[in-house]
Chains A and B, each alone.
Chain A
């Protein structure tokens, strides 16, 4: 953006800058300067025009681009149109129908409101506006630079054609990239808009060929179409409401997280935003299920009263300011955490089942001659609380029915079974099934309805312990360890100010940080749990986070790291022999534990091999 303005200034300077009187700039020049902020490339034109179309109540929008949108960009909508008399003002700077007063600005619900877009675009390109207001006998067209609309033919709505973008501004044109790149940017702009309005259909054509067509559909379907089937398969729904604030959307499976942040879509009241408070909240929720530096994919929609958010921060409106950013942060983080917390038993968590089950009945069915009785004793370990439930006759029947579908095949499979399977397998509808063996002291093999489940027992147990530790600590008051010798450090002024502003929040976290001077702070108390960590670094991190996001998540992160290490040390190690009952208990616990699909370091804990997959390996059932 800057180069544009800068360029004008550069041209002006050589003529003896100091001597010129101060004057109002010509209108076109002002629009061109404004265009520098809003219109950066075809994609930004597309964004502005799509927003206008949506604000006009369009239900179907047709986009045609030529040469990446640089040569021609045409948008046709079926909205309410613009009456003849308003066509000329529409192309004038600061003219809009969307707001009329400051009160309305504070409660703005439309996507646009500045009244600058059309004028700005018209100042850097050839713009033609054709529109037929609802009820008008015919349409009128107005080209940029003209005052009088001419009659035109159009069934309904508005068509805006932008040609030769930056034709008159060679400096800006130089910054445009290749046709393919500009088209890709336009595609991204469309994706953002399309996600936010699933009830509107979009058609995008490039150089005369249809590149994408999205019909009016549900939000879920729209997200699937825009972010891809692969995302949708592992995605989880997020939905939460707290008073007037709501969030809905889909978040990607942690295991599918990617290296770049390109599939992260956040919408606030239907407007796409890039907001670090929101990004941070999601990131915090993903903290211990993501492997390394991976980035989660998501499309999330937040609705809140327009008064709760200031969108008038930047002309392009991708930045917003929340009145209650701390509350929003918490809200988003909780909602996403809850969605991620779904346990190994994704959909039907058999809580009731597990609770009512008869203890260790699983092994009573015979075949006792084959194995040593010791292996059947219910485990005394307290960490295996849930006793495996008894098999239910009807589901057992269903299980066998499933097998008999394969006919003779299943007979063959059953034949050798008694020698190593725990007898007539009582197959309740346990998502992770029942353990059948331990492999090399590392993996648990379990059999469930779908086929074979392989569980990394250390990773799984680690997660179970970790979640237990966390639950134990939650709700407890944070114990503080005051320091005998305070840790003093030189601080930025902003840190000193933050320490003062958030004294209460810090106190709740177990911190006491007091200013020594305008540029130094003393840590006088730290959370007892983290008493051995570097107090200065910890304090700095916490202050930074409080200042930026209004929350002290960094502490939870440090605490969780500690708990994670403890969990890792306490979890069963490889080569530890587990009895079937113990393994089953572990599986049941996984089903009840949040986030049990990943270990604390983001590695998967279990894997499902469907019977069909196995069949394929052996070329069966073809």
Chain B
């Protein structure tokens, strides 16, 4: 049974879109497959890992409706390895998916489409709003690196999304540092707070492009759905109570200075070469007009960096895990950043002048 004939790229793109969430190792073999469904001149592609499900579709010639599942990884690798512009045709014969392109022939095993575990969509997508893809992508980029990874406090392995009238806020923390950002949106829904799993956030950021094309976000009690272009991403939510970020973000710090972002990155990266490789401690001494950064390691080697800053607050000697500082510097895009400090034992607040809604809080390290 003929399924589709198309140029390689027309098939490769949707398959790349959906197969990112397919786990390499599974106890349930069918989960490493893609669901291909042909209905009424449209071919849809769907992948899931039970938590997240992504689907997209492409036009194809009309014909008999069909559905099957085939190994995502192999299909993707075959298409990728075929020459660009090759004309690819897929046929379903006898439980095998036959792929032809030029003189190449492939025959892949399939599993029955009925057995494919699709995520059943919630009926109660109450709250929703629409933003430009570019804005959402930028918003996620500002905070996603601060999400925890495999923390036993499972609710930290994700991103807190808060939607309220006119605004969407995102928060991520791993317990050591916290990133907060907000975006004005057109919404008139009641306040909603949901935690989106880490994997979904990373996949979503990967799929979004830098365009003003809209993305629709819908929230149900246990699900969140993103629709953009031809893509639909449905994800379960993380249950649990996210820590109260308001209590963590300090206010009223009087000691602050601004510094060029690239310059600070340079200083930290150089100093970090001689930091203790096991815990990456870097010492920052803020004094009149200067920021001194120093590192020592167990071999008694030492690095010192100094940057001129406009500062006249208290002299503060404070230690940090250098990765936490480099993380934020790599992900904000502004020319300069502002650092506000309380004392050597209090958290530091990093903000950017061009986005007043962005805040990054990091705990010092007692070296």
Contacts and interface: CB of A to CB of B under 8 A. Distances in A.
Contacts of B21: none
- Chain A contact residues: helix, strand, loop or mixed: mixed
Contact of B365 (A480, A534, A562): A480
Nearest to A474: B298
B176 A531 contact: yes
A525 interface: yes
Contacts of A563: 278
A484 B347 contact: yes
B57 interface: no
A510 B365 CA distance: 10
B157 interface: no
Nearest to B146: A484
B176 A484 contact: yes
Contacts of A480: 365-366
A484 B175 contact: yes
B248 A482 contact: no
Interface stretch (B103-111, B199-207, B209-217, B356-364): B356-364
Contact of B319 (A479, A531, A566): A479
Contact of B321 (A485, A528, A537): A528
Given A482-B364, A483-B363, A484-B363, A562 B278 contact: yes
A563 B152 CA distance: 23
A479 B173 contact: no
B291 to A, nearest CB: 21
A553 B342 CA distance: 35
Nearest to A486: B175
Given A484-B175, A484-B347, A487-B153, A479 B279 contact: yes
Interface in B276-325: 276, 278-279, 281, 298-299, 319, 321
Contacts of A103: none
B366 A482 contact: yes
With most chain A CB atoms within 10 A of its CB, the pick from B173, B176, B319 is B176
A566 B279 CA distance: 13
Contacts of B298: 472-473, 476
Contacts of A562: 278
Contacts of A205: none
- Chain B contact residues: helix, strand, loop or mixed: loop
A485 B176 CA distance: 7
A294 interface: no
A477 B175 CA distance: 23
Contacts of A535: 175
A485 B173 contact: yes
B365 A481 contact: yes
B184 interface: no
Contacts of B299: 472
With most chain A CB atoms within 10 A of its CB, the pick from B278, B281, B298, B363 is B278
A508 B196 CA distance: 38
A525 B363 CA distance: 10
B248 A484 contact: yes
B153 A481 contact: no
A536 interface: yes
A529 interface: yes
Interface string B151-192: 011001000000000000000010111100000000000000
Contacts of B276: 479
**Across the A-B interface, the 3 shortest Cβ-Cβ residue pairs:** A472-B298, A528-B279, A480-B366
Given A477-B367, A485-B243, A485-B248, 8 more contacts: A481-B176, A485-B178, A528-B321, A528-B365, A534-B152, A535-B175, A536-B152, A562-B278
28 contacts: A479-B276, A479-B279, A479-B365, A479-B367, A480-B366, A481-B321, A481-B363, A481-B366, A482-B345, A483-B176, A483-B363, A484-B173, A484-B177, A484-B178, A484-B248, A484-B361, A484-B363, A485-B178, A485-B243, A487-B175, A510-B366, A528-B321, A528-B366, A529-B278, A529-B279, A531-B176, A531-B321, A566-B278
Interface of A: 472-473, 476-477, 479-485, 487, 510, 525, 528-529, 531, 534-537, 562-563, 566
Interface of B: 152-153, 156, 173, 175-178, 243, 248, 276, 278-279, 281, 298-299, 319, 321, 345, 347, 361-367
